[in-house]
Amino acid sequence: MKVIDVDTNSFRICDLEEAKTWNYANPGKIRMIKGLEVTSWDRLMKIISHKISGGQQEMIEVNEIPC
């Protein structure tokens, strides 16, 4: 996944192992994929699975928005 810091417009590449360790309950950061808020590991997996089953082959982009 490509994780984009919306504040600085910088990005980094993140694998699923790292994403599994994210603090999804952190109120200081919102993560979004194409307008869908990522609120848990399970939600992230559902969004990714849906995108892959729909034929998306390019890298998933996650926007991180500080609050």
pLDDT category at 53 given cuts 50, 70, 90 is: confident
Q: Is 65 left (phi over 0), alpha (psi -120 to 50) or beta?
A: beta
CB proximity list for 45: less than 8 A, separation 6 or greater: none
Position 67 scores a pLDDT of: 87
Beta bridge partners of 66: 29
> Is pLDDT at 3 greater than 90 in this prediction?
yes
Residue 21: Cβ-neighbour burial (10 angstroms; 0-12, 13-18, 19+): exposed
Contact call for residues 67 and 28 (beta carbons, < 8 A): yes
Domain borders along the chain are 2-66
pTM for the complete prediction? 0.87
Position 52 scores a pLDDT of: 84
pLDDT tens by residue, 11-52:
999 999 999 999 999 999 999 999 999 999 999 999 999 988
